[in-house]
Structure 1
Amino acid sequence: MKKNFLVLILAFVLASVILPTVSQASTNDEGINEKLGLPIVVYGEALSASQKAEVAKLLEVDKHEQVDEFTVTGQDIANYIDGNPNSNMYSSVKILHKDEGNGLNIEIVTPDNITQVTTEMYKNALLTAGVENADVMVASSVKVSGHSALTGIYKAYDAKGVKLDKDRMKVASDELDVATSIADKEGMSDEKISQLLTEIKKAIAEQNPATKEDVEKIVKDQLAKLNIELSPEDRQRLIDLFDQMRNLNIDFDKVRNQLDDLTGNIQNLINDDGFWNKLTAAIKSFFHALSNFVSSLFS
C-alpha cells in the first residue's frame, strides 16, 4: 500500500509539473491597434447560437474591446477555393494582424475537435497562400477535419481589403488535402508530413526549379533525405502539387525564415516522442496506482 501511494504521488507531481501550459499564439488584449486594425473573428455558418457562444468563449473574444465579426459560408468555400457550396462550415478563427517580422503563429484551441489538420499544416498552407505576420486561433465546437478554417481566414483578409491571390489560395487548400490524405493513407505522423512539405519548399527556394523534372528531383531527394517511402501515386501527387506552386512563382525566399522556424518546431516535436511516451506512461501509472490505492481502502 505504501508503495502504491508513493507511486501515486510521484506520478501526480510529474504530470502537474511538466504538462505544457504555454500557448503558441497569444492573443491577450492590448487595446485597439490603430495601425493594424481590430481583431477579426470569423464564425462557421453552421454553428447554432449556443455553439457560437461557446466558440466565442474559446477564442477569448471578450478580451478585446472591439472585434470585426464575419460569418463563413459554403458559398465562400466555392468562391475562394472552388469547393462545395453546400458544405457545412463549423471551424471558426480569430486573427490578430502583426507588424512585419512577427511571423505567422497558429494555435488550435480545440485540438480534440480538429481531427486532421495540425498547426504545422495550417502554417505551411497559409504561407503558401501568402498569409504572413499574424496570430491565428482556430476553434470548433464539434469534431471536424479542420479544412474549412482556411476559408474563414481567406474571407477575413478579403473583408479587410487584403486581396490574396485566388490561385495561391486554391493551391494552399490542395496542399492541406494532400498532407492530410498522405498522412492518413501512408500511416505517417503529422509532424513527418509537415517536415517533408517544409523541406521541399526550402529546396525550391534554394534551387529555383525551372521545369517539372526539376521539381520531381527535389521531391525525390527530400523523400530520400528524410527516409520516407511513398506509393507512386502519392509521390506523383506531391510532384504535381509543387509543380503548381512553381508555376505560380511563389517566392519562398521571402518566408524562408519562417520555414526555418517551422522546421525547428517540427523537429522538436519529432525528437520529443520519447519524452511524451514517458509522460504518457507516467500518467497511466498514476491512474493505475490511484485505482489500486482506492481498492486497498476497501479491502
Structure 2
Amino acid sequence: MKIVKKISSKLVIMFMTLCLFISFSQNITAFADSFKVVTLGGNLTQDQKNQMLDYFKVTKNDANILDITTDEEKKYLGNVASPAQLGNKSISCSYVEPTSKGGLTISTYNLTWVTEGMIRNALITAGVENANVIAAAPFKVSGTAALTGILKGFENSSGGSKIDEEKKEVANEEIVVTGDLGDKIGQDEAAKLINDVKKDVVKEKPKTDKEIEKIVEKAVKEYKVELSNEDKETINSLMTKINGLDLNYNKIKDQLNDAASKLKEKLNSEEAQGFFAKVKEFFSNFFQTISDWFSNDSSNDDESTKNNTESINTKSSIKNSNLKENSDTIETQDENKKSDSSQSENLSTENNSSDNALNKVTK
C-alpha cells in the first residue's frame, strides 16, 4: 500500500508540474505577443485592414489592434502639419514592437512623404531606444496616420512606456519640419541634415539662440544647400525645442551615429544608382543615335531614288529642295501635265469633229 501511495503521490506531483509548465508557457507567449501593436487607418475598408494585417504578419489574436482617426492625426500633428499634408482621411498603418536591445529597425512601404530617416529621428527625440517599426499603407499616401500610430502604438504596447508629452510634440514637429525641408533638398538629405544638427545641439547644449543659429548655419554650409531665411528660422526653432528637452547625449549618441550612418549609406546608394542610370541612359541614347543614323541614311537613299524617278517622269529639275517640296512640286507638275494632255485630247477631238462636219457638208 505504501508503494502505491508513493507512486500516486509522484504521479500527482508530475501532473501538477506539467500543468504549471504549460500554463507558464502560455503566459510567456501571451506576454511576448502583447508587445506587438498594430495601428490601422480608420478610413480603411475591412478588406484593406485585413490586407495590412497580412502584410504585418499578425492576427487579431496575437497583437493589440488600434484604429487611428483623423481627429487623432489633427491632435498630434495639427499644430505643425498643413491640412494638405494631413488630408481628410486616415489611411496609413503602423506595426510597433518594442524590444530590449538591437536599436531601431524601421521600414516603410507605399509612403510618399514620410521616410525611414524621419521616423528614426523622431523616435530618438521621443526617447525610444529599441523597437521594430513598420509604417505602410495599402496604396500610396503621405503617411501621417502612421506617424500618429507609431507613438500611440508604442505607448499601448506592454513593452513600451508613456512618452513625455513635450517630447512627443517635438518629435512630431521634427518629422514635419524634416518633411517640408525634404520637399526642397530631398527627404534623405533633409533627414541627415536635421540629425547632424540635432547631434551637435544635444552634445554642445548651446546656451543662447545665437549659438544654435551658428550650429545650423555651419551644417547648411557643409551640406552646400540653398535654404531661405525662413527655412533656417524653422530649423532654429525646432532645435531650440530639442535643446529644451535636455536629452542625454551619452545615452543617445549611438542612436544618432547609427541614424547618420544609415542615411549616408542610403544617400550613397541613391547616388550610385543615379550614376549607373546616367551611364545606361548615355549608352542607350548613343546606340539609338547610331540606329537612327543608319535608318535615316537608308531612308534618304530610298527617297532619293523615288524622287529621281519622279523627276525623270516629269522631265523637270527639282534640285536644292526638301523632300516635301519635291513631292508637292512633282505632283503639281504631274497634274499640270495631265491637264495639258487632257486639253490636247479635247482639242484633238474637237478638231476631228470639225473635220467630220466639214466633210459631211462637202459631201
Q: TM-score, normalised by structure 1?
A: 0.75
Q: Does 1:176 align with 2:162?
A: no
Match of residue 236 from structure 1 = 233
Counterpart CA distance in 2 for 1:236 and 1:139 is: 32
Number of the residue aligned with 2:92: 91
Whether 1:196 and 2:166 are equivalent positions in the alignment is no
Task: Tell me which residue corresponds to 1:166.
Answer: 165
Sort the Cα spacing of 1:219 and 1:86 in 2 relative to 1 into closer, same or farther, 3 A.
closer
Q: For this pair of structures, how many residues does the alignment match?
A: 253
Counterpart selection for 1:270 from 267, 270, 274? 267
After superposition, residues 183-222 of structure 1 pair within 5 angstroms as: 183-184=182-183, 186=184, 188-222=185-219
Between 1 and 2, higher relative CO (CA 8 Å, sep ≥ 6) is seen in 1
Q: Is the 8 A contact 1:147 1:176 kept in 2?
A: no
Q: Point out where structure 1 has 5 or more consecutive residues left out of the alignment.
A: 1-30, 293-299
Q: Percent identity?
A: 27
TM-fit CA distance, 1:223: 1.1
Question: Which residue number corresponds to residue 103 of structure 2?
Answer: 103
In structure 2, stretches of 5+ residues that fail to align are: 1-27, 292-363
Deviation at 1:200, TM superposition (A): 0.6
Once residues 41 and 212 of structure 1 are traced to their aligned partners in structure 2, the CA distance between those partners, rounded to angstroms, is: 40
The CA deviation string for residues 108-127 of structure 1, in whole angstroms up to 9 with x for no partner, is 1x2xx200111011101121
Are the counterparts in 2 of residues 36 and 99 from structure 1 also a CA contact under 8 Å? no
Aligned: 1:59 with 2:53: no
Q: Is the 8 A contact 2:39 2:66 kept in 1?
A: yes
Distance 1:211 1:82 in 2: 28
In structure 1, the residue corresponding to 2:134 is in which secondary structure? strand
Aligned partners of 1:201 and 1:252 also within 8 Å = no
Mapping of 1:7-18 within 5 angstroms? none
Please say if 1:70 is aligned against 2:66.
Answer: yes
Task: Pick which of 128-137 and 161-170 moved more.
Answer: 161-170
Could you say which residue in structure 2 is the equivalent of 1:127?
Answer: 124
1:47 Cα shift? 0.6
Q: Answer yes or no: is the 8 Å Cα contact 1:103–1:258 preserved in 2.
A: yes
Counterpart amino acid of 1:97? P
Partner of 2:252: 255
Distance 1:262 1:233 in 2: 26
Query: What one-letter code is carried by the residue in structure 2 that aligns with 1:192?
Result: E
Superposition deviation, residue 37 in structure 1: 4.0
Q: Which residue of 2 aligns with 1:139?
A: 136
Deviates more, 1:214-223 or 1:155-164: 155-164
How far apart are the structure 1 equivalents of 2:63 and 2:33?
12
Deviation of the 1:276 alpha carbon? 1.2
Instruction: After superposition, give the CA deviation of every residue in 1:22-72 in whole Å (9 maximum; x if it has no partner).
Output: xxxxxxxxx93746843111111111111111111222225x971111111
Tell me, in whole angstroms, the C-alpha distance in 1 between the residues paired with 2:191 and 2:55. 26
> Larger helix proportion, structure 1 or 2?
2
- Aligned-pair distance for 1:250? 2.8
* Cα shift readout 1:209-251 (whole Å, capped 9, x = no counterpart): 1121211111111111222221111011100111111122233
Kept after mapping to 1: 8 A contact 2:34/2:62: no
CA gap of 1:35–1:55, structure 2 versus 1, over 3 A, is closer
Give the CA deviation at 1:132: 2.1
Amino acid at match of 2:106: I
> d(CA) in 2 for partners of 1:274 and 1:216?
30
Of stretches 217-226 and 267-276 in structure 1, the one that deviates more from structure 2 is 267-276
Q: Give the distance between the partners of 1:177 and 1:103, measured in 2 at CA.
A: 23
Q: Aligned-pair RMSD on alpha carbons?
A: 3.0
- How has the CA–CA distance of structure 1 residues 222 and 86 changed in structure 2, closer, same or farther, with 3 Å as cutoff? closer
Is 1:47 aligned to 2:48, yes or no? no
* TM-score, L = length of structure 2: 0.63
After TM superposition, list the pairs within 5 Å mapping 1:109-120 onto structure 2.
Answer: 110=109, 113-120=110-117
Higher Cα Rg: structure 1 or 2? 2
Partners of 2:280 and 2:111 in 1: how far apart? 24
**C-alpha distance in 1 between matches for 2:33 and 2:199:** 29
Give, in whole Å, the separation in 2 of the partners of 1:284 and 1:227.
27
Counterparts of 1:23-42 in structure 2, within 5 Å, are: 32=29, 34=31, 37-42=34-39
